[in-house]
Amino acid sequence: MPKIGVLIVTIALGALAARGLPAQTATATDLADVCKSVGEAKPGEWASFDATGKSEGGKLRLAVIGSERSGDTTLNWFELSVTAKDPNHSGVLQILAPSLAGGTGAARSVVFKWGLQPAVKVPGQMAAMMGDKKGQNNSVFDWAAQCKSAHVVGWESATVPAGTIRALHVTTDDGTDVWASRDVQFGLVRLRGKDGELALSARGANAKSSITERPLEMPGMMMPPTKP
């Protein structure tokens, strides 16, 4: 079974040839304003990205495919689906969490499916353990958790397949460059990391689960590490 961190980082990041215009002055207030919307989205909303890693390209879609109540808290099902040229490298990762602001470590339940293998559901504490190793995963899920601590570069005009969007250019502590906008679902316009880049290609509000089968319940299984 592919390692979750490797699959998301290597395949889910995409290349972008176009460059933004020179940065315009931005402040910490601008960053805080953008971050308010980064970790939130309504059920049905989705954003897709063209992706190319060092060895293989593909498509990535981030979506909210449903919600459920837990006490006084509304939890959303966030889905990251990866479509690679090699079907064995394609997969779907779904996490149940209050928002994306807590990163993958905030998951209350996880469902994943890689290649032709059956879908598996991991609830409870085991689900949180999948993404709780800080600094070992650079997935788009974790961008929301890193947003508030990012370093502001400035406002730029980012040209991506979805169009030209005014976005706030920031860098994270691990050297990732991100162009973010509160007017885009999940706030992500463009991301450039050491393993590749991704660029917004489309967005909408009619998302459904990419997993149609009933997941196997395996609460006691040993989970693969997030990074080799």
pLDDT band at 215; cut points 50, 70, 90: very high
Tokens 């909303």 sit on residue:
45
Which of 38-42, 56-60, 129-133 has the weakest average pLDDT?
129-133
Query: What's the whole-number mean pLDDT along residues 184-195?
Result: 89
Q: What pLDDT sits at residue 209?
A: 95
Q: How many other C-beta atoms are found inside a 10 Å radius of the C-beta of residue 81?
A: 23
* Alpha-carbon torsion, ordered 92, 16, 200, 21, to 10 deg: 150
Of all residues in the chain, what percent carry a pLDDT higher than 90? Answer: 38
Taking the CA of residue 95 as centre, how many other CA atoms within 13 Å lie in the half-sphere pointing to its CB?
A: 27
Percent of the chain clearing pLDDT 70 (strictly above)? 73
What six digits make up the tokens of 149? Answer: 């601590």
Q: How high is the pLDDT of residue 38?
A: 76
How confident is the model over 98-151, as pLDDT tens digits?
887 766 667 888 899 988 899 999 876 666 665 544 433 445 666 777 888 899
Q: Which pTM does this prediction carry?
A: 0.78
Report the CATH fold assignment for 4-216.
outer membrane lipoprotein receptor (LolB), chain A (2.50.20)
Q: Which pLDDT score, from 0 to 100, does residue 19 have?
A: 38
221: which DSSP letter? P
Give pLDDT, residue 179. Answer: 95
Q: Is the pLDDT of residue 7 over 80?
A: no
Q: How far apart are CA 177 and CA 186, in angstroms?
A: 16
Distances (CA, A) of 100 to 80, 125, 203: 12, 17, 18
User: How do the domains of the chain map onto residue ranges?
Assistant: 4-216
pLDDT for position 6: 38
What is the spatial distance between Cα 158 and Cα 192, in angstroms, rounded to a whole number?
12
Amino acid at position 134, single letter: K
Contact between 169 and 181 (Cβ < 8 Å): no
Q: Calculate ∠ Cα 145-115-84, nearest 5°.
A: 70
